[in-house]
Amino acid sequence: MNAQLHYNKIKGMNLSIDASRGKPDAQQTALSLGLLDAIGDCPPSIINYGGPDGIPEMKQLFADMLGLQPGEIIVGGNSSLTMMFDAVQTLVQSGLWQSGKTKIICPSPGYDRHFAICQHLDLEMITIPMTPAGPDMDIVTSLATDPNVGGIWCVPVFSNPQGYVYSAETVKALAALKTANPNFKILWDNAYAVHHFRGLRPQIPCILKECETHGHGARPIIFSSFSKISLPGAAVACMAGSPSGLEVFRKRLAIQAIGPDKVNQLRHVRFFKNLHGIEAHMQKHAAILRPKFELVAKMLAPLPVTFTDPNGGYFLSMETAPGKAKKIQTLCKEAGVLFTDAGATFPYGQDPADTNLRIPPTFLSMEELEQAMEVLCLAIEIA
């Protein structure tokens, strides 16, 4: 049966598979259900107001996970996305960045929600290429000479959507970067710090220490979260940086909030205990995720596309022939399989060559994933 006939047959099956977002699957979240009963005895200080930046034990857990000091951590609510939005809003409101004027460097393909924040707050985005070692630093270096260029988005470990890991050279170059704008910020979204599912945990230099070496301590704003370690939506997020880098955020936080949910922090501390507990837990995630990524790679291998085959994270990135990504995504959609919109991985939703698609293998069961990939493969052949 040729691809078109096969596609038509599947289209007639009225599939409805959502492969558009990088959610963990039910097996993964089941691993953390014990969290809900992990609270036990709750000291009075935990169940009343106070402690604007988190309980010491949770700061320690994040610090161990990210290679930072507890004093460098502000523990927040359930979402690092919300902390990122708020950080950018703070930079705008405080005048360190200016709506309608400040430009942000966006290595692309990248995370659609980073770009949406910039667009919502009217910060111009400059699309630049990603390489397997991180953003193209020649271009970054050149752009940073413009005083209106105020920062860069980075997903340093298992980048969204490629799953690339920044090289030590890239991290060091970002820290050393000469910027015309004194308020240049590195928005360092370390969402997948412990999310390797093959091999060892990637080791990259600490962006904060590297920046401090060059006298740029206020430059990095680090974000991380347990969203894809414990329970998405019911997890704990943090931001981190140097005292000078965090000052503008701490000042705002004192007005903005009485404090985060300390009970949920204590739950996480008691459930995971320490970095070893996190790592052991993530090995169970790895066992669930590895076969899914392998299935996707196996099915894409014979086709006229290139794709990344990462060792961790939640996505892989596929490059089609020029001008084909939108068509492929639409064909999938018409057959009942929803992928992230083509273009969504670029600022303003515009993929100049129309070649990139983001594939999140995590949420679907192996059976659904195989079905979704079958449709994708047929769509590639047809397109």
Residues near a second copy (CB under 8 A) are: 21, 23-24, 26, 29, 32-33, 36-37, 39, 42, 44, 46-50, 77-79, 81-82, 85-86, 89, 92-93, 99, 113, 116-117, 120-121, 227, 231-234, 252, 255-264
In the complex, least distance from residue 116 CB atom to a second copy, rounded to whole angstroms: 5
Q: Which is nearer to a second copy, 202 or 259 (CB)?
A: 259
Distance (Å, whole) CA 333 – CA 314: 21
| Distance separating alpha carbons of residues 140 and 105, to the nearest angstrom | 8
State which residue, 48 or 69, has the beta carbon closest to a second copy.
48
Write the burial class of residue 95 (CB in 10 Å: 0-12 exposed, 13-18 middle, 19+ buried): exposed
CA 311, CA 28: separation in Å to the nearest integer?
A: 17
Q: How far apart are CA 314 and CA 81, in angstroms?
A: 16
Phi, psi of 318 (to 5 degrees): -120, 140
* Nearest distance in Å: CB 78, a second copy: 5
Output 26 or 280, the one with its CB closest to a second copy: 26
Between 78 and 356, whose beta carbon lies closer to a second copy?
A: 78
Beta strand segments in 50-194, E: 73-75, 103-108, 124-131, 134-135, 149-154, 185-189
The smaller minimum CB distance to a second copy, of residues 46 and 139, is found at 46
Return d(Cα 352, Cα 350) in angstroms, integer: 6
Query: DSSP string of 156-213?
Result: -SS-TTT-----HHHHHHHHH---SSTT-EEEEE-TTTT-B-SSSPP----HHHHHHH
C-beta closer to a second copy: residue 263 or 287: 263
Least Cβ distance, residue 315 to a second copy (angstroms): 15
CB of 212 to a second copy, least distance (A): 29
Q: Whole-number minimum distance, CB 267 to a second copy, in Å?
A: 9
The DSSP 8-state label assigned to residue 312 in this structure reads: B
Smallest separation (angstroms) from a second copy to the CB of 79: 6
> How many residues does this entry show for the chain?
383
